[in-house]
A and B are shown apart, each in its own frame.
Chain A
């Protein structure tokens, strides 16, 4: 199976996605399997013949310039968008075939950190944290809810911000709270949509380190969409490069860094 038969990026010195998938699939459980997925909006093709595998406990970074289809890629995984053709399986279930109830059950196992943090403006930080516990997990024991909220806010170092509203927080704090709100559901898979965009380099590094720390603490498997190489370096076990809707290269940070391909080198400059 050749992912990109027509692309000039075949010359990339890193392994192909296919080879990597085959070798890894033998040893580790795949939690996400995307196979020949295509997605278009009208006449604009956003994803074309995309194949991707995420293994349990792995941090996979999807690298690509703006508009390359990175966000669409992870929205297919959550069922927020449906592919035109191909297959997207999460925990072995074909996402587009899931009914409303099954999709909800699947989404509870997946955490999604939005680029903006997507905190609910009308609620305080504590109410934001309680929202998924009371509305999704239907917890009623206030003591348990408080304990989980406090534990998670402590994990991201923002326990003292519990009474604040999102408008009183900085960009980095909003990302931390967004991460905490997602992790409070104890998801098995975390999807990060450009987690460091719009942050200064120091805060970006803090968020990247926090992602890694949380991944190790809560044993999640993660897909991190980014074009921030510092974030990729800190968080990635494996990197896939997306260009014009196709995956063009795959490898570790070091492997891609030594690539001779111009496009890939642009990310490292």
Chain B
């Protein structure tokens, strides 16, 4: 007994160091694996508040760019609207009904407070949280494409798992065909991502447009992602397909968070299948 006490006293700093180091390393691995609730994240009152102040300064320097983005988006949406009016003028009443009762998605606007793109596991911080109706696993997009998926949520802030994160896997497809694959990031260039699992029968060309596939409950189908930059084929399998994003991931301002109203129903259904 005496020896144990002596040992502890002699090595007390080392033991203390070991204990704290173990805590730190366990936080690290928790952070590297995706579907776990995390204790260390920037969606809290203090860090969120400080990032809010920083952002209120930084915003001014980018106002011109954001205004142009919003203008472009407005033009695009107005064009879509005017097309629809022409197509469905006769069924106008029905169209109104469907938008009212069969709405599938809704969008909540927000701002990015913290943006990262130089690490291997990047997270963003946005200014919307529980009080604004944000939950985990919702899609985040802006006018030029997808940005990420909400991760940890606090009362007024949420962290977003950026598409520039090794754990991010997003279902994407080619614009003009039904073949789909998975979008990942290899951690190198922050504007170039990779597609895996695309079947060889999908005849791709450099410059083809990639959009979201709509096979998950997170992103609706058809949100633009980017264009194919280059690819190589080996043994009749696509080895690497690089995709250049429409977005500049180093400069993201206003964003939209997508709520899917069918999500619970789909999740319930999938659960009953997996239980059987």
Does A pair with B? no
Report B's interface with A, CB cutoff 8 A: none
Name A residues whose Cβ lies closer than 8 Å to a Cβ of B: none
